[in-house]
Amino acid sequence: MTDHSHDHARQLRTATLLVHQGRDRDPFTGAAAVPIYTAATYHQPGGQGGGYDYARSGNPSREQVEEAIALLEGGTAGFAYASGMAAIAGALSLLRSGDHLLASLDLYGGSYRYLSTVLPRQGIAVDFVDTTDVAVVAAAIRPETRAIYIETPSNPLFRITDLRAMVALARSHNLLTLLDNTFMTPLLQPALALGIDVAIHSATKFLGGHSDLLAGLTVTADADLARRLKHYQNAAGNVLAPFDAYLLSRGIKTLKVRLEAAQSNAGQLAERLRRHSAVHRVYYPGLDDFPHRDRHLAQAAGPGAVLSLELRHIAQVGRLLERIRLPIIAPSLGGVETILTHCWSMSHAAVPEEVKASLGLSQNLLRLSVGIEDVEDLWADLEQALEG
């Protein structure tokens, strides 16, 4: 915000920050959108370095969204990466060989793949534990444990971890807490305010919101962690491109109206789906019989716009996927359009079958990221696809 200091910006409410972010106009021309700076490098007058030198190290378009996520999460610094997985890798760069990481049992398939295959090759041991049970996590802590990696609600079974309790446990053992906050966004679940050390977002999802870019973000309130995250981002170079940064900034501006509309639709569909004869179970934190509903709503301002449904019979899955018309059938979420995912074969394809089975992730499970269409059209389509 060129007319305001960041101190003033931090006093603004989230809905206002989403629109105005850190910079809401070009400081040079007053243009209503910060330009897309495509330069790979920057002139150094007289050989003296200025604010920018090389685009991997800093770019005004990228810095705009990095400032935005820092303001939205109440952090000191934000970092934008080329994908959500690149952001996860950035956060996990805080670990070193010989360290031990505890992680939620129930994770996005790409996260599971990174933690179970990449980190061990770097000499980092990983144990997957039930983070919904503080005693289980406490019992798994070893002298070399350095961090706890959490998803809540978990993807796709919506297990809820008590973030305040996890932060208290971590601090008592001098551990870092890393939270993938993609499902909830800073609008619904203020990660750093709950004490989390590093919040992570696949900005491809709700923050971008239009299924047209790949992006990841991390943010921290700790100056030393910010320095280490910046060092890795610059050294590894998996940074967000200027055009995608522009798209992401544009998407963030409408997050509140998009997410509120999608969340309203999701609530109505969850209620109707759980009463449908073809549906065995619906996982959605907004349902009154959802386990740990109170735990979720004690740390989040709403249930979100994603739900999972388990059909009664495996044969129904193929029939539904063949008959459905409005939703995109794809491994993603958070778009303005409704997206239907067969978790077993799409979002969690990287998780070994025996692990999926042990988690209770069945082949009958579908994840529905509800969009902003008319809810009656969505319901009519779901109904006809579930017929018979």
pLDDT digits (tens, 9 = 90+) for 123-141: 999 999 999 999 999 999 9
- Structure-token pair, residue 370: 């509800």
98-126 residue pLDDT tens:
999 999 999 999 999 999 999 999 999 99
DSSP 337: S
Q: What is the mean pLDDT of the chain?
A: 95
pLDDT at position 1 is 45
- Structure-token pair, residue 19: 């629109």
The fold for domain 255-386 equals: Aspartate Aminotransferase, domain 1 (3.90.1150)
Q: Which of 37, 81, 106, 108 is catalytic?
A: 108
pLDDT at position 185 is 98
Average pLDDT over residues 235-263: 98
Residue 279 has pLDDT above 60, yes or no: yes
Can you say how many angstroms the Cα of residue 309 is from the centroid of all Cα atoms in its chain? 20
180 is catalytic: yes
> What is the DSSP secondary-structure string of 113-175?
HIIIIIHHHTT-EEEEE-TT-HHHHHHH--TTEEEEEEESS-TTT-----HHHHHHHHHHTT-
Residue 82, CA distances (Å) to 64, 77, 91, 108, 248 in order: 15, 17, 14, 18, 11
63-77 residue pLDDT tens:
999 999 999 999 999
Contacts of 6 (CB under 8 A, 6+ apart): 22, 67, 71
Q: Of 313, 331, 332, nearest to 386 (Cα)?
A: 313
28, 32, 37, 42 alpha-carbon torsion, rounded to 10°? 10
Q: Which of 25, 56, 113, 230 is catalytic?
A: 56
> Tokens 């009519």 identify what position?
380
Nearest-5° angle of CA 199, CA 149, CA 284? 80
- Structure-token pair, residue 142: 């070893």
300-356 residue pLDDT tens:
999 999 999 999 999 999 999 999 999 999 999 999 999 999 987 877 877 888 887
Residue 4 has pLDDT above 60, yes or no: no
Residue 241 has pLDDT above 90, yes or no: yes
56 is catalytic: yes
List, by residue range, all CATH 3.90.1150.10 domains of the chain: 255-386
pLDDT at position 8 is 73
359/188: higher pLDDT: 188
List, by residue range, all CATH 3.40.640.10 domains of the chain: 6-253
pLDDT at position 3 is 43
Average pLDDT over residues 50-61: 93
The yes or no reply on domain 6-253 and CATH 3.10.150.10 is no
Q: Which of 23, 146, 205, 274 is catalytic?
A: 205
Average pLDDT over residues 1-17: 73
Report the alpha-carbon distance of residue 286 to residue 303 in Å, rounded.
5
Q: Is-contact 136 130, C-beta < 8 A?
A: yes
Nearest-5° angle of CA 286, CA 288, CA 294? 75
Report the alpha-carbon distance of residue 249 to residue 384 in Å, rounded.
38
Residue 188 has pLDDT above 60, yes or no: yes
303, 186, 125, 344 alpha-carbon torsion, rounded to 10°? 40
Contacts of 180 (CB under 8 A, 6+ apart): 88, 107, 108, 111, 149, 150, 151, 200, 201, 202
317-332 residue pLDDT tens:
999 999 999 999 999 9
Q: Could you check whether the bond before residue 156 is cis, i.e. omega within 30 degrees of 0?
A: yes
Cα diameter, the chain:
76
Q: Which of 24, 180, 197, 244 is catalytic?
A: 180
Proportion of the chain above pLDDT 90, given as a percent: 87
- Structure-token pair, residue 184: 């909830």
Residue 122, CA distances (Å) to 97, 145, 152, 211, 303 in order: 6, 15, 26, 32, 37
pLDDT at position 51 is 86
Report the alpha-carbon distance of residue 361 to residue 141 in Å, rounded.
26
> Tokens 């989403």 identify what position?
18
Residue 145, CA distances (Å) to 101, 140, 192, 308, 325 in order: 6, 9, 21, 33, 48
250 is catalytic: no
pTM for this entry: 0.95
β-strand pairing of 77-81 with 100-104: unpaired
DSSP 295: H
293 is catalytic: no
Residue 49 has pLDDT above 60, yes or no: yes
Model confidence at 388, in pLDDT bands (50, 70, 90)? Answer: low
Q: Of 10, 35, 12, 15, nearest to 25 (Cα)?
A: 35
Q: Is-contact 81 215, C-beta < 8 A?
A: yes
